Amino acid sequence: MPENQATTTLNRSLGFWSALALVVGTVIGSGIFFKQSSVLDSAGSTGGALLAWLLGGLITLTAGLTIAEVGAQMPHTGGLYVYMEEIYGKFWGFLSGWMQIAVYGPAIIASIAAYLGILLVGFFHLDSGWQAPLAILVIVLIGALNMFENRYGAIFQIVTTLGKLLPIAAIIIFGLFYGNQDAFGQSLQTVSHTTGNFGVAVLATLFAYDGWILVANLGGEIKNPQKLLPQAIILGISLVLIAYTLVSYGILHFIPAEKIHALGQQTTVYFANSAFGTIGGRLLNIGIIVSMVGCLNGKIMTFPRIVYAMADQDQLPFSKALSYLHHKSHEPMVATSAIIVYASIMILFFNPDRLSDLCIFTVYCFYVATFVGVFLLRKRHAGEVRPFSTPGFPVTPLIAILGALFVIVSEIGSDISGVLLSLVIVALGIPVYLYKKRRHAAN
């Protein structure tokens, strides 16, 4: 165990509202504002689009209900990494953590920050050369905030989550009361220009719902996690499901389907300009910027915890440094800095969107394994009292498994080269694991 751990531990100070804000804040980024047209195009009708958002949310909710049972039994820092290790052993736990810290986590942070840089350049009418510096500046500032006690990052998460709910509420209210379109019965006439099908539409919504599981990385910092973690996951996903479905209904009730198809990613901006004038478009951009900043904060707050948890078990190179906790803030400062530097390099030299897409396949493979783990844990601990039990068992986890398998099969069918490359990325962690295992055996 690293020396600093003898006296310094993570601060278990996060309450229900902080956990809830992390669930909602890490899910709601920019997807709900920019995916309306793509979901509609794939579904082919407004009713199909609404059903896709609803079905995607329900599948995500079954996943949350399933993970809640696992997380309540393992309320430790590391989330999915801890679950995989406890259920299947250190090797599979290591690979799930390696995948998240080697590419997936930093790439997601980099891709959100890069897109935020584009928005900031457009909002302030700056030269495009400022995109990367602004993106890096944002993640450095958020990373610096998370060097202080976790309550500051949690407060910032609550504030930004409330801020992002304002434009969502405005869209819902205006669309419901001032729209006059048939939000259920319109079909796209320009079917020859559309791509995909209903399954592709659901897949797009599943990606928009992803991120809720990251709150589990803070299991060691949440008060009474056996109770609060399931509550935050379930209520958080439910709130996002309601918000996404109502936002989609509001937009479809206000703008004709053919117009949405023609507008593409500008659909929500058009809605704001039409509803509130030019100033409305500016305010919506501010809302989206706040939304993305909050999403970044949640991810920068949670992903370093995986690094810390793995380093605390001496499973990574430079584990002693990466597991360092500051004696006053009780924060994993080196792990957070490492993630920030890695994400900044990705912004400068790689396409982070592509890198994060590459790991979708493997992330969902580990999701499936964890969902199956509910059955294994119940068999392993038969007769024992559980802090939380998945409602509707075994149907609920079976739906979660089928939903994740749908994503996996879709990825194989649409991006086989990306799937193979993602498996290579995961396999690169095997030599690291074996090296560390030999070192442990030698010592």
Give residue limits of the domains in the chain.
Answer: 3-442
Cα–Cα distance for residue pair 163/241, rounded to 1 Å:
18
Q: Please check whether residue 206 is in contact with residue 55, taking contact to mean a CB–CB distance below 8 angstroms.
A: no
Q: What share of the chain is helix, strand, coil (3-state, %, to 5)?
A: 80, 0, 20
Per-residue pLDDT of the chain (443 residues; tens, 9 = 90+): 444 444 677 777 788 999 999 999 999 887 788 888 889 988 888 999 999 999 999 999 999 999 999 999 998 888 999 999 999 999 999 999 999 999 899 999 999 999 899 889 888 989 989 999 999 999 999 999 999 888 888 899 999 999 888 889 988 998 888 888 877 877 776 544 445 588 888 988 988 898 899 899 888 889 888 999 999 999 999 999 999 999 999 999 999 988 998 888 788 888 888 888 888 778 888 888 898 999 999 999 999 999 999 999 999 999 899 999 888 878 899 999 999 999 999 999 988 878 878 888 899 999 999 999 999 999 999 888 999 999 999 999 999 999 999 999 998 988 899 899 999 999 999 999 999 999 888 87
The pLDDT value given to residue 365: 94
Q: Which residues lie below 8 Å from residue 423, measured CB to CB, with a gap of 6+?
A: 361, 362
Q: Please check whether residue 300 is in contact with residue 307, taking contact to mean a CB–CB distance below 8 angstroms.
A: no
422: three-class secondary structure by DSSP: helix
Cα–Cα distance for residue pair 208/268, rounded to 1 Å:
16
Q: Which residues lie below 8 Å from residue 429, measured CB to CB, with a gap of 6+?
A: 94, 95, 98, 99, 102
The pLDDT value given to residue 193: 46
Q: Give domain 3-442's CATH superfamily.
A: Amino acid/polyamine transporter I (1.20.1740.10)
| CA proximity to 298, closest of 157, 166, 159, 161 | 157
Only one residue has tokens 């194989």, namely: 412
Q: Is the peptide bond before 394 cis (omega within 30 degrees of 0)?
A: yes
The pLDDT value given to residue 4: 46
* b/e sequence 312-341, b meaning 16+ C-beta within 10 Å: bbbbbeebeebbbbeeebbbbbbbbbbbbe
Cα–Cα distance for residue pair 55/237, rounded to 1 Å:
13
Phi, psi of 228, rounded to the nearest 5 degrees = -75, -35
